[in-house]
Amino acid sequence: MLRDPPLIVGNWKMHKTISEARALIDALVGLVGDNFEQGRFTVLAPPFTGLSTVAQAITGQPYLLGAQNLHWEDRGAFTGEISGPMLQDLGCRYVLVGHSERRRYFGESDSIVQKKAAAALRNALRPILCIGETWEQRQSGQMEPVLSVQLTQGLLGVDKHQAENIVIAYEPVWAIGSGRAATADQAAEAHRYIRAQLLALWGEDAGMQVPILYGGSVTPDNIGELLTISDVDGALVGGACLDPVLFAKILRVAAAV
């Protein structure tokens, strides 16, 4: 099957004020140009406060807008929350769900993650479902069951006809922000397992349509090798996407694989 270019998602986390966001996009566009084919496969996910600014800054350019979180209801008395229709309205096309920082610091269970993924799909947003094991789980041989539960629970109720709108991100918790990315072998093993799970869930055609991104200490130095691994269809980049020089390098490598 003919595969799309790698999907690269920049997760800004809780970084960048509005003026800093503007400066980051300007610098990025200055480095890679505004008619950059890879841009069609590049998602910028600033914090909520930066979405509108980034949406404006990428107008007329191929980049895509993503959010880092959403509420599972479309509206209501949920003080401090942001809903799918609000993200849609801002021009978002993607939204992260189940990032390990949300699971860890904000108590997001698999059932909350599942409701958020459903809310995203209902609002024409592609959920990027993040799954990954901790170091302790890996050491005790629990990687596969952990990935399996997070994947199948997160996708509960999602019909295989919606597979084309789903993105999975494998993010080993121990690799996030640690400077210790998974080795090629570790990433290959996990991605192979996730693909097998998707095929078991949805069958060959639908299961192959889902891009599986790798995330965790991605840099310009390791992105090339990671993207050559079969079933690594892109990357979720945290720290390195905050530096336009590093992110531009990552995009250039991705465009060349």
- Cite the active site residues: 99, 171
Burial 177-201 (b: 16+ CB within 10 A, else e): eeeebbeeebbbebbebbbebbeeb
> Which CB atom, from 184 or from 196, has the smaller least distance to ligand PGA?
184
Is residue 56 helix, strand or coil? helix
> Which CB atom, from 29 or from 218, has the smaller least distance to ligand PGA?
218
Please identify the residue of the shown chain whose CB is closest to the bound ligand PGA. 238
Distance of closest approach, residue 74 Cβ to ligand PGA, in angstroms:
26
> Which CB atom, from 33 or from 177, has the smaller least distance to ligand PGA?
177
Strands 92-97 and 234-237: unpaired
Closest alpha carbon to 56 in 4, 6, 91, 93: 91
Binding site for ligand PGA (CB under 6 A): 11, 171, 176-177, 215-218, 236-240
Distance of closest approach, residue 2 Cβ to ligand PGA, in angstroms:
28
Distance of closest approach, residue 216 Cβ to ligand PGA, in angstroms:
5
Torsion of CA 135, 228, 98, 153, to 10 degrees: -90
Distance of closest approach, residue 35 Cβ to ligand PGA, in angstroms:
27
> Which CB atom, from 229 or from 240, has the smaller least distance to ligand PGA?
240
Strands 64-67 and 7-11: unpaired
